[in-house]
Amino acid sequence: MKRFICRRLITGILTIFIVFVLNFLLIQAAPGSPVTTLMGKENHDPEIRAMLEEKYGFDKPVIVQLGRQLEMLFHGDLGDSIIQNRPVGEMIAEKLGPTIVLGLTSALLALIIGTLLGVMAARKEGKPVDMVVSGTQYVFSAMPQFWLGLMLIILFSSNLDIFPSYGMTDARADHTGINYVIDVLYHMCLPAITLTLTLIPQYFKIAKSSVLQVTNEEFIQTFKAAGMPVKQIFRKYILRNAILPTVTIFGISMAYLLTGVMLIEIVFAWPGMGRLMMTAINQRDYPTLIGINLIMAISVAVVMLLVDIIYAKLDPRIRYE
Amino acid sequence: MKEILRVEDLNVTYQTKSKSIYAVRNAAFTINQGDSMGVVGESGSGKSTLAMAVLRLHDEKYTEITGRAVFDEDRDLISMSQTDMDELRWKEISVVFQRAMNSLSPVHRIRQQVEDIYRIHEPKASREEIRERMISLLKLVNLPERVYDLYPHEMSGGMLQRTAIAISLLHNPKLIVFDEATTALDVVTQGQILKEIVEMEKTLNMTRIMITHDMSVVAESCNKIAVMYAGELLETGMVKDIFKKPCHPYTQGLIKSFPALKGGHHGKLTSIPGNLPDLSVSCKGCIFADRCDRAEKKCFEEKPSYKAMQNGRNVACHFAEEM
């Protein structure tokens, strides 16, 4: 196991490095440039352009620019945002918190609710309960996130005025301590509900099909033939075997949630990574984009490593040698 | 001799939305203590259905069973309540399934599964007690002690099948059903395991039903045979009688289609032409008439009743005596 983790760490770091280099090159290859954004729409003065390009090093060959980026990275510096003129590290650190709070809450809620519903539907397969729950899941999985968000805003904010429609805190109030936490939770209700509702179907589907599949496995017959009570078979043997695919789905979903749920964050004006990235793309803010992509790569690598370790604990058939 | 299982007029019907499939019809046989009966037939002939019905392991929603299966002279397995049946399971009737690779949970150790199965009937049994019991059984099937602490995927198919047999013996049941238990194994391992089963039987005085499509398995390990075709038992009796002189044309065909057991040629291997009939339509005459080369007009019109012949043999053929 230790050797496996070491090896996975090394391959993980290599992957992150390759992703970093590819990102750098791809962004350079895309049309547009931060210099254009800085100069503004009406300004076409070639002298100013040349001056700005020199200032940010865009006049040098791509390979030299890449070398400079890597050198900075080794010193733990992600560089400064060209547009906002602030350190990228600081900007990301500011936005990562809100994204983790929103993403993790929704992912955990969806995992728990989706899995429970899936298990229940599998046990009552073909009965009215199953048909209602499964049908609802299809509706939610076909619903676009942003649309559901907008509908919830119309219903709960505009019409009923129960929940706030935007932001993470009340800008006019200056809460501290427990009041601040409550304020954040209150603001999080609508975005979290939207995200959870659209995440539930994947856990539901995987849990239901997995339970049904294990129920038909031959070893379940063995326990039935031995006279084991159905409840014990279910709790100890079916669930334990059926839970494995859910772990994988949770891992993958988690990794992508950490990089921000762009549409939700824009609809609810949630100050997270998704909005930061959207703005950076529009403004061709290279250092910020590269920084965000690096965080994405690292979070995917770390979560996948964790999933592999958890999987090895849950399934004895997996041996990492 | 004491009777262990007497099946009388057993019918199993699967209900689907559009039709009924008569999977087993009018099955009847008797097994005495110490007997080992092989149920043979081609795929889809209903032999596993018969076993599952006796074990009450079918899906009750889609299956209808009539008739009787009297166990141990006084209890009818078919009409018995689910609770009574659970009480009987593994303690008096146990089963070894077809694919050993899948007959145990892949994410639990053999130890955990054996403990759980043992405690169904002996909830207070200690770990040491169960371990001791299982290890003595593992020895009986020629497996080392360490198997007890392994996961199923750490063993070979043969080892797993032996483990499954050992687990089926946990409570010393009166009757064990082997549902194609050696089919998935290679011939050498199958031969060894059959030999071990026969040896074991002598010491434990157990009674066995062996579901198989392999005539040679029956020849090697059973004293009684029931030949099944399209849901009906066409011929039942002692193995030595039937192998010497099969009285039903289908049995004759089956025996001709298997190679001789002990070297030598006994002529060309032949196959029986045709396929199993549609089990959703009831058949007026003899079920095998379509594929039988001796069939006459009578065979298509009149169902042959069981003809009792010597040594407890029963044959469902109009011309049994002439064969």
In this structure, the answer to whether residues B163 and B231 fall within a common structural domain is no
- Render pLDDT for B157-168 as a digit per residue (tens, 0 to 9): 888 988 998 999
Q: Which of B170, B194, B221 is at the close of a domain?
A: B170
**Pick from B264, B263, B232, B266: nearest CA to B252:** B266
- Render pLDDT for A135-149 as a digit per residue (tens, 0 to 9): 999 998 888 888 888
DSSP state of B246: -
> What per-residue confidence (pLDDT) applies to A39?
77
> What per-residue confidence (pLDDT) applies to B82?
86
| CATH number, residue B207 | 3.40.50.300
Q: Which residues of A touch B151 (CB under 8 A)?
A: 316-317
Q: Which residues of A touch B109 (CB under 8 A)?
A: 316
Residue A43 pLDDT exceeds 80:
no
Task: Specify the residue for token string 């009787």.
Answer: B68
B161 touches chain A (CB under 8 A): no
In a domain, B113, yes or no: yes
In this structure, the answer to whether residues B128 and B194 fall within a common structural domain is no
Residue among A225, A229, A315 whose CB faces B95 most closely: A225
In a domain, B99, yes or no: no
A317·B151 Cβ contact <8 A: yes
In a domain, B264, yes or no: yes
Predicted ipTM beyond 0.90: no
Q: Which residues of A touch B95 (CB under 8 A)?
A: 222, 225
In this structure, the answer to whether residues B306 and B221 fall within a common structural domain is yes
pTM of the predicted model, to two decimals? 0.79
Chain B interface disruption, residue of A125, A215, A222, A319, most B CBs within 10 A: A222
Q: How far apart are CA B209 and CA B51, in angstroms?
A: 8
In this structure, the answer to whether residues B70 and B126 fall within a common structural domain is no
In this structure, the answer to whether residues B188 and B286 fall within a common structural domain is yes
Q: If you average pLDDT over every residue of chain B, what do you get?
A: 86
Residue B103 pLDDT exceeds 90:
no
Chain B residues 50-69 within an 8 A CB cutoff of chain A: 55, 57
B122 touches chain A (CB under 8 A): no
> What per-residue confidence (pLDDT) applies to A321?
58
Residue among B94, B98, B102 whose CB faces A217 most closely: B102
β pairing state of B307-309 and B313-315: antiparallel
| Band of residue B186 on the pLDDT scale cut at 50, 70, 90 | confident
| Residue of chain A with shortest Cα separation from B117 | A226
Find the mean pLDDT for residues A29-36.
77
> How much of chain A, in percent, has pLDDT values that exceed 90?
14
Topology at the third CATH level for domain A100-276? MetI-like fold (1.10.3720)
A240·B105 Cβ contact <8 A: yes
Q: Which of A65-74, A258-267, B85-94, B250-259 has the lowest mean pLDDT?
A: A258-267
- In sequence order, which residues have a C-beta less than 8 Å from that of residue B293 and are 6 or more positions away? B249
A226·B120 Cβ contact <8 A: yes
Chain A contacts to B (CB-CB under 8 A): 217-219, 221-229, 232, 236-237, 240-241, 244, 314-317
More confident residue, B210 or B281: B210
| Band of residue B261 on the pLDDT scale cut at 50, 70, 90 | low
Residue B172 token pair? 């010393």
Query: Range of B158's domain?
Result: 104-170
In this structure, the answer to whether residues B239 and B254 fall within a common structural domain is yes
| Band of residue A185 on the pLDDT scale cut at 50, 70, 90 | confident
Q: Which residues of A touch B153 (CB under 8 A)?
A: 316-317
Phi first, then psi, for residue B265 (nearest 5°) are -105, 140
Q: Which residues of B touch A237 (CB under 8 A)?
A: 105, 108
Residue B130 pLDDT exceeds 90:
yes
> What per-residue confidence (pLDDT) applies to B227?
92
> What per-residue confidence (pLDDT) applies to B201?
84
In this structure, the answer to whether residues B231 and B257 fall within a common structural domain is yes
Q: Which of A95-104, A170-179, A306-315, B217-226 has the lowest mean pLDDT?
A: A170-179
In a domain, B284, yes or no: yes
Find the mean pLDDT for residues B169-198.
86
Q: Which of B137, B170, B203 is at the close of a domain?
A: B170
Q: Which of A282-286, B97-101, B291-295 has the lowest mean pLDDT?
A: B97-101
In this structure, the answer to whether residues B117 and B186 fall within a common structural domain is no
Q: If you average pLDDT over every residue of chain A, what do you get?
A: 84
B98 touches chain A (CB under 8 A): yes
Q: Which of B139, B170, B201 is at the close of a domain?
A: B170
In a domain, B97, yes or no: no
> What per-residue confidence (pLDDT) applies to B176?
92
User: Long-range pairs for B133-137 at CB < 8 Å and ≥24 separation?
Assistant: B133/B170, B134/B166, B134/B167, B134/B170, B137/B166, B137/B167, B137/B169, B137/B170
B101-B103-B104-B106 Cα dihedral, nearest 10 degrees: 50
In this structure, the answer to whether residues B159 and B87 fall within a common structural domain is no
In this structure, the answer to whether residues B163 and B175 fall within a common structural domain is no
| Band of residue A186 on the pLDDT scale cut at 50, 70, 90 | confident
Residue A56 pLDDT exceeds 80:
no
Residue A248 pLDDT exceeds 70:
yes
In a domain, B98, yes or no: no
> What per-residue confidence (pLDDT) applies to B323?
67
More confident residue, B29 or A85: B29
Residue B173 pLDDT exceeds 60:
yes
A241·B88 Cβ contact <8 A: no
- Render pLDDT for A70-102 as a digit per residue (tens, 0 to 9): 888 888 777 788 778 888 888 888 888 888 888
Residue A125 pLDDT exceeds 60:
yes
List, in sequence order, every residue forming a beta bridge with B22; answer none if it has no partner.
B13
Q: Which residues of B touch A225 (CB under 8 A)?
A: 55, 57, 89-90, 94-95, 97
| Band of residue B262 on the pLDDT scale cut at 50, 70, 90 | low
Q: Which of A62-66, A106-110, B28-32, B85-89 has the lowest mean pLDDT?
A: A62-66
Domains held by chain B: number: 2
Residue B275 pLDDT exceeds 60:
yes
In this structure, the answer to whether residues B218 and B198 fall within a common structural domain is yes
B38-76 in b/e burial notation, b at 16+ Cβ within 10 A? Answer: bbbbbeebbbbbbbbbbbbbbeeeebebebebbbbeeee
CA B287 to chain centre: 21
C-alpha distance from A244 to closest chain B C-alpha (Å): 10
| Residue of chain B with shortest Cα separation from A224 | B57
Q: Which of A113-117, A230-234, B239-243, B264-268 has the lowest mean pLDDT?
A: B264-268
> What per-residue confidence (pLDDT) applies to B226?
92
In this structure, the answer to whether residues B313 and B182 fall within a common structural domain is yes
Q: Which of A157-161, A175-179, B142-146 has the lowest mean pLDDT?
A: A175-179
Residue B55 pLDDT exceeds 80:
yes
Residue among A221, A228, A315 whose CB faces B117 most closely: A228
Residue A205 pLDDT exceeds 90:
yes
Find the mean pLDDT for residues A38-61.
77
β pairing state of B63-71 and B3-15: antiparallel
> What per-residue confidence (pLDDT) applies to B267?
66
Q: How far apart are CA A30 and CA A285, in angstroms?
A: 12
Q: Which residues of B touch A232 (CB under 8 A)?
A: 116
- Residue A38 parent element (H or E): helix A34-39
- Residue B175 parent element (H or E): strand B175-179
Residue A182 pLDDT exceeds 90:
no
